[in-house]
Amino acid sequence: MKPAVGWIGTGVMGSSMAGHLVEAGFQVGVFTRSQGKAEALLSAGATWYDSPMSLAQHHDIVISIVGYPTDVEEIYLGELGLFSAVEDQRKCRIAIDMTTSQPALARALYEKGKDSGISFLDAPVSGGDVGAKNGTLSIMVGGDEDVFREVAPVFEVLGSQIQFQGSAGSGQHTKMVNQTIIASTMIGMCEGLVYARKAGLDPLTVLQSVSGGAAGSWSLSNLAPRVLKGDFDPGFFVEHFVKDMDIALDECEQMGIDLPGLTLARKLYEKVVSSGGEKLGTQALYSAVDELSHESVKRDNGDRG
């Protein structure tokens, strides 16, 4: 018999992910701050609950995917949070946070979960709206391996690349590796598109060549075509990527390392935010890179004059 699953968070990715569980025959309960955002799921067969605590009272597993570490804290530690459910009135045995959050918070929630009788996994994901819609997300998991194995059938509905990374917080650290790589990749992708256009090439034809070669990446295959169409709608919000880079840079400081590519990407994305683009998709970096490339030429020409 499949476990009952409580779901918290129906944003760009969460709604599709919860929908896959409904389609797979899981009994799914949903909580979001605004019930209206869950209407599609409720119409598909999910049930509404009014708090994380109420989800914990009626579901074997509760999964969260929200925006910021402060949201995660509220979900688990707030007055009506998941861990506030009294043990003899609680069905939940396992809690899984799939938000990209702080490794230290994941470790703290793991320990708090042990005190509350709930096993906790940190399991952030990568793959954006495309991966969420297609059920092909990469899922990176920290916590206890026996708990990971128990919930593997749930993860298999949501993703195609599922890896146990180690103790509590390891999933979040792995996601920081992921975001660090993406940060520099996004700069390269945008610069390449600027170069292609300036050279008078057909950017779509260029993409066909380079996407299948050594320069190939998820961002190049999925986001570069959106840039060429002028589509900057979010598959992943700029503001959330900035949050992720800030977490990664904080972790770098604690570990005593300097990653210049990550630092540069953070500065470039600040230009997107300052121009009002925080709710756009991460591919909106193209506009900042394009603008800077022209500003640099103007400065150089001015110096020569």
Residues annotated as part of the active site: 175
Distances (CA, A) of 209 to 20, 25, 197: 34, 42, 15
Dihedral (Cα; 251, 253, 259, 263), 10-degree rounding: 90
Which of 238, 21, 14 minimizes the C-alpha distance to 31?
14
Question: What is the b/e burial string over 132-164, where b = at least 16 CB atoms within 10 angstroms of the residue's CB?
Answer: bbebebbbbbbbbeebbebbeebbebbbeebeb
SS3 145: helix
170: Cβ contacts below 8 Å, ≥ 6 apart? 103, 122, 140, 141, 142
Which of 137, 97, 138, 139 minimizes the C-alpha distance to 120?
97
Taking the C-alpha atoms of residue 55 and residue 130, their distance in angstroms, rounded to an integer, is: 28
The encoded tokens of residue 55 equal 């989800």
- Beta-bridged to residue 30, according to DSSP, are 7, 48
- φ, ψ of residue 169 in degrees (nearest 5): 95, -15
Taking the C-alpha atoms of residue 38 and residue 248, their distance in angstroms, rounded to an integer, is: 31
Instruction: Output DSSP code: residue 265.
Output: H
Placement of tokens 């996407």 in the chain: 211
